[in-house]
Structure 1
Amino acid sequence: MIDIREIKTIEQLEQVQQLEYNVWGMPSIPIHQTLTAVKNGGIVVGAYDGDQLVGFSYGFSGFREGKSYLCSHMLGIDENYRSKGIGEQLKYAQQAIAIERGYDLMVWTFDPLETRNGFLNLSKLNGICNTYIENCYGEMKDGLNKGLPSDRFEVCWYITSDYVSKNVSIDATDAIPVASCVLNEQGFPCLNITENLKYNEDLYIMPVPKDFQALKMQDPTLALDWRFKTRYLLQRLFAQGYAAVQLQQQEHYNEYVLVKLETLNLGGAKQYENYGNYH
């Protein structure tokens, strides 16, 4: 049975540091930084199988445009414990602690083409994305990110809103596609952008690959094409006031559902909206 606990001690943070290295293969965050964050508004939670740390979520206090929030910077799961719902458990534990400490918003980033993360962040947790950051972390050399611009969605999770607490779902039956996904001669998915869009419909959908890492290994040029085309579409949709709110599955691809941000019941969302499409 997996036990979720808040992490506060140096010894526990050393376990986090080791798991972080195991997951990403990059130098880990120094203990003095994570410990300082924990002592100053940050929240770290761990998933334990007995005494073994098998997952963690690390967040520190953020402040922007007069508002404080929890920046949930990292979520890592041991490769032997993935696809077991541990990431979701960690986020909900972090949410509960964050609400106790007065936060009403959590923010983090993820690659919009990594649809497993998209499903967790949007369809399960009811986060929303209306900010697209080009090459967010510069050139990254780890296995997951090497070879492509490190573009990111910024997730806003309005943890005290009705939209989150009531687990609101959007009916995308009448959504308009902004692009089509077709298979090429090799059987790989390709994106064709819809022409003459006016961006004035209530709902849009946008295809994304089911397994972007596999596509990147099989055809790096095609993976780069997906990066640039989805960047183009998402930046234009966000600029017109839309937000990505769900990820749904089709036979050969997945797709984001996008709606007007103003239609969502986010409580204090207008205090935080339009952080910007960073370049």
Structure 2
Amino acid sequence: MTDKTVILRELSGIAELQHAEVLQIEAWGEGEKPDNSDILMALQSEGGLVGGAFRDGEMLGFVLGFPTVTPGLQHSHRLAVLPKARGLGLGASLKWFQRDWCLARGLNTVRWTYDPLRAVNAGLNIGVLGAVSNQYFVDYYGAMPGINAGLPSDRIMAVWHLEDEAVVARAEGRFKPDHAAAGQDWLEIPADIDALMAADPEKALAERLRVRDALQAAFNGGSRIVGFDRQQHRYLLGR
């Protein structure tokens, strides 16, 4: 549950946009190349969402989304929360803020890439928000710094249908996952890929390749990610 004293709003002025650069580095690690204030200002002026979560005047989280060539579709490029503010539900709150912002402007779909090995991100993107996925990208960004260093930068595309009933149910707090549905398969991922990478890099790489092979096979066979079990750290694959 998000702290009621947290304010979610669009960023305003160059000072806040510049502070968003600092927040991105603090959230994602040294070596991260943040989206700079000039780019943020341009994207915002051309119809993009540049938003933040604030408490007592301090920016604790940041979200960036921008228009695409597809009508009604926004690409969500950044979601970052300061380490000291994790556990407050800010990631989910920023995404629901993004949903409201998009729907108010006639946008009904948001999509973004994320690392399928990151259980926390999968829990948010798939489990909490109700996004789905059937696209896999191998080493999408090439070698990366910060928290992403050390493994191929594989990504999947999360697609968030903002007016889908499962998403609406989640937004209204009445969604109940059915983890016993017939005709579906499970794919477990590491509970903490960062800890595994630090303790056993070879095992972490093996997990990357295992999950890559499994998801590519599932997607090529017509299945997609339709859910995520946050307790067991596993994807639900179905049609």
> Would you call these one fold, judging by a TM-score over 0.5?
yes
User: How many Å apart are 1:27 and its aligned residue?
Assistant: 3.0
2:100 maps to 96
Does 1:216 find its partner at 2:216?
no
Paired positions, count: 229
Contact 2:66 2:75 in 1 (8 A): yes
CA shift digits 1:25-75 (9 cap, x unpaired): 2232222111111111210110101111010111111225xx441111111
1:133 maps to 137
Cα RMSD between the aligned structures? 1.5
For structure 2, the residue ranges without an aligned partner over 5 or more in a row are none
Letter in structure 1 aligned against 2:220: A
1:56 maps to 62
TM-score (norm 2): 0.91
Mapped partners of 1:14, 1:112: distance in 2: 30
Matches for 1:1-279 after TM superposition, within 5 Å: 1-24=5-28, 25=30, 26-64=32-70, 67-142=71-146, 144-167=147-170, 168-173=175-180, 202-250=183-231, 253-260=232-239
Letter in structure 1 aligned against 2:219: F
Contact 1:8 1:35 in 2 (8 A): no
Letter in structure 2 aligned against 1:52: E
User: How many Å apart are 1:254 and its aligned residue?
Assistant: 1.5
Mapped partners of 1:34, 1:249: distance in 2: 33
Mapped partners of 2:12, 2:134: distance in 1: 33
Name whichever structure is richer in strand by fraction.
Answer: 1
SS of the aligned residue for 1:126 comes to coil
Letter in structure 2 aligned against 1:256: Y
Name whichever structure is richer in helix by fraction.
Answer: 2
Letter in structure 1 aligned against 2:54: Y
Contact 1:43 1:58 in 2 (8 A): yes
Contact 2:72 2:106 in 1 (8 A): no
Mapped partners of 2:53, 2:36: distance in 1: 20
CA shift digits 1:87-143 (9 cap, x unpaired): 01100111101111111100111110100010011111011111111111111021x
CA shift digits 1:176-205 (9 cap, x unpaired): xxxxxxxxxxxxxxxxxxxxxxxxxx2010
Contact 1:4 1:45 in 2 (8 A): yes
> After the TM superposition, which parts of structure 1 deviate over 4 Å for at least 4 consecutive aligned residues?
none
For structure 1, the residue ranges without an aligned partner over 5 or more in a row are 176-201, 261-279
Letter in structure 1 aligned against 2:106: G
Mapped partners of 2:36, 2:133: distance in 1: 30
CA shift digits 1:246-265 (9 cap, x unpaired): 22145xx51111110xxxxx
